[in-house]
Structure 1
Amino acid sequence: MIEEPENHDRLDAAVRVRRERRALWRREGERSLGQNLAMIGALGWTIVTPALAGVFAGRWLDKRFASGVFWTLGLLTAGLAVGCVLAWKRMHRE
């Protein structure tokens, strides 16, 4: 069975990225504790901010339409999903 060339291209790209990361680590070393804590804090706020925006918007809509917690729960869930996607993208960018 012959493998598709796409798989070889993806493997080559993965190996290249790994080599670049290793070379960067050898040049710069590991990040400091402060930098790691700052990243954790930034990721936390990246997740929390859209969730809180969803809660505030949901509470306003629930009061406006007297719908209980329908909008609050829905927009909280949507905010968490958006925040998690943004945090995921940020983690893979760095």
Structure 2
Amino acid sequence: MSEPEERDPLVKGVRLRGERHKRWLREGEASTARRLAQIGVLGWIIVVPMLIGVFIGHWLDHRFNTGIFWTAPLLFLGLGLGCWSGWKWMQGA
């Protein structure tokens, strides 16, 4: 295969789709339990960084007596990190 074909996102996408189709033919449709488990994992991937941000922010606010100066931004930072992580996980799944 030539070098430009290896870097072309369309070629990569088609190859990935073909691999996923072959896996589906080999393994069959995923069960309802597996789909629910994937939804649960996705939820935790998003929620855990948010909770970490809240706990660290609350600790910093309590330590420096700053109201919610650290909690709010760290919550949103955790949300962004969690959504990004969930997106990356979904692209690989």
Residue 20 of structure 2 aligns to a residue whose secondary structure is helix
Task: Give the structure with higher Rg (CA).
Answer: 1
Identity %: 54
**1:25, distance to aligned residue in structure 2 (A):** 1.1
Q: How does 1:1-80 map to 2 (within 5 A)?
A: 9-80=8-79
For 2:87, give the aligned amino acid: W
Distance across 1 between alignment mates of 2:9 and 2:73? 38
1:22-59, CA deviations, whole angstroms, 9 ceiling, x for partnerless residues? 11111111110000111111111111111011101111
**1:9, distance to aligned residue in structure 2 (A):** 3.2
Distance across 1 between alignment mates of 2:8 and 2:74? 41
Unmatched segments (≥5 aa) in structure 1: none
Structure 1 vs Structure 2 CA RMSD: 1.8
**1:73, distance to aligned residue in structure 2 (A):** 0.1
The count of aligned residue pairs is: 90
Distance across 1 between alignment mates of 2:44 and 2:26? 30
Distance across 2 between alignment mates of 1:18 and 1:34? 24
User: What is the TM-score with the length of structure 1 in the denominator?
Assistant: 0.85
